A and B are shown apart, each in its own frame.
Chain A
Amino acid sequence: MFAAENGLKGDPRLQAISDAIRVVPHFPKQGIMFQDITTLLLDHKAFKDTVDIFVDRYRDMDISVVAGVEARGFMFGPSIALAIGAKFVPLRKPKKLPGEVIAEAYELEYGSDCLEMHVGAVKQGERAIVIDDLVATGGTLSAAIRLLERVGAHVVECACVIGLREAKGQCRLNGKPLYILVEPREVDGCY
């Protein structure tokens, strides 16, 4: 669900967040309009508003785990975790986490990849959210949800700054709700 349709209709912060995101055409390959959040991170007010919107939503939901997907999920997740009093759990590409891990494979356009989480980071019964900068097909988030559910955590919601609208019907991943702040920008908006 989009923030604008879920309590934040007309909220000027959302427009500023959208405006702060840069579109880089044809990255990493022809035809992809890459949504670059690094420009959002340069806009202190818009970055703070992004975090605040998520914090306001999750603060009273009894969330004890914020899981962030490497690497851009690391840029948003810890600030949210600190503000709501949750722990931050990094979900990483293979062989980055040094301790014992559990792994979950997921499909890419060509081939597959793998997401890992430390054993013991999350306890059974904990309430978790998953954070990433953007959701496209939902493959990465689905793997993240499976990792958390395998250890008995309850994934309350997935949260992304950017998400595609044609995910309607797919605004739930594995049955989990998805909360998105803004839609991808068109190429006209790039600077």
Chain B
Amino acid sequence: MIQRPLIFSPLNPISPQVSTPTTPLVNAVFPKPNRGWIALSSSFQLPELRLQNYQLTLPPLVCSASDSVTNQPSMASQDEQDPRISKISSVIRVIPDFPKPGIMFQDITTLLLDTRAFRDTIDLFVERYRGKNISVVAGVEARGFIFGPPIALAIGAKFVPLRKPNKLPGEVISEEYSLEYGTDIMEMHVGAVQAGEHALIIDDLVATGGTLCAAIRLLERVGVHVVECACVIELLGLMGRERLGDTPLFVLVSST
């Protein structure tokens, strides 16, 4: 089983709405008193185990750097994990029951408030993609617009926004994709990318993979090779990685 430690803190200066979960979570630990942020997992897979002891032993956070050959997450040991990852994970805030009951929303806005952690997030992607002949960074509206442009600027690529319908002013191509209920549409400007270009797709989080798949299809329709999808967070257990098929996925932190 992939170990994904959960850090719960009752101290949350931004959101007073965050509440203590009433069901036990695997590896739930309480952080040191002056750490303010929550890194809970979603409640999708509630474990059978009950933690005996809520001492401050922090299991290592897993950096799910995908192995592009096998397309499986690697189980990074504590020794291999980049030290920046645990800080990034710790400053992502979880908001329970948003946008609806049962969803544990991974809020990256708190990451953006931590200048060091935000810088490290971008650096981790830039270090991976610099010098790899990637000429396009495509970002999914709207949180992909926050991470994509700094990466694009650092690696010398163009930034291409992938948007909801009727936002892009010029001629577009559209791709429909499924939501839990109903469908949505993603658009890209005609002419933004050229056949043969190598692209990254950036979003803050991957869950079911539906949005990323639509983005991959949009780019492939115009002859672009999608090298990898990159997200800050992967929600495990939703088959997102599998849904991307042959396209590798790279994430910084995982959550159940």
Contact = CB atoms under 8 A, between A and B. Distances in A.
Contact of A88 (B98, B112, B157, B163): B112
Interface string B50-61: 000000000000
B107 interface: yes
Contacts of A121: 14, 109, 113
A24 B15 CA distance: 41
A85 B141 CA distance: 24
B16 interface: yes
A4 interface: no
A41 B162 CA distance: 13
B160 A47 contact: no
Given A28-B166, A89-B112, A89-B113, A98 B158 contact: no
Q: Which secondary structure characterizes the binding site on chain A?
A: mixed
A75 B118 contact: no
A71 B153 contact: no
Interface residues of B, number: 42
Contacts, number: 119
B122 interface: yes
B161 interface: yes
A82 B118 contact: yes
Interface in B142-165: 142, 145-147, 149-150, 152-153, 156-161, 163
Contact of A42 (B141, B147, B166, B192): B192
B142 A100 contact: no
Interface residues of A, number: 40
Nearest to B13: A120
B112 A100 contact: no
14 contacts: A27-B169, A28-B166, A38-B161, A41-B160, A42-B159, A42-B160, A44-B152, A47-B159, A75-B145, A82-B119, A98-B99, A99-B15, A99-B95, A118-B109
Interface of A: 22, 24, 27-28, 34, 36, 38, 41-44, 47-48, 51, 70-71, 74-76, 78-79, 81-82, 85-90, 92, 95-100, 118-121
Given A41-B159, A74-B146, 18 more contacts: A38-B161, A41-B149, A41-B161, A44-B156, A48-B153, A70-B142, A78-B118, A81-B115, A82-B118, A86-B115, A87-B114, A89-B109, A90-B146, A98-B99, A99-B14, A99-B17, A120-B15, A121-B14
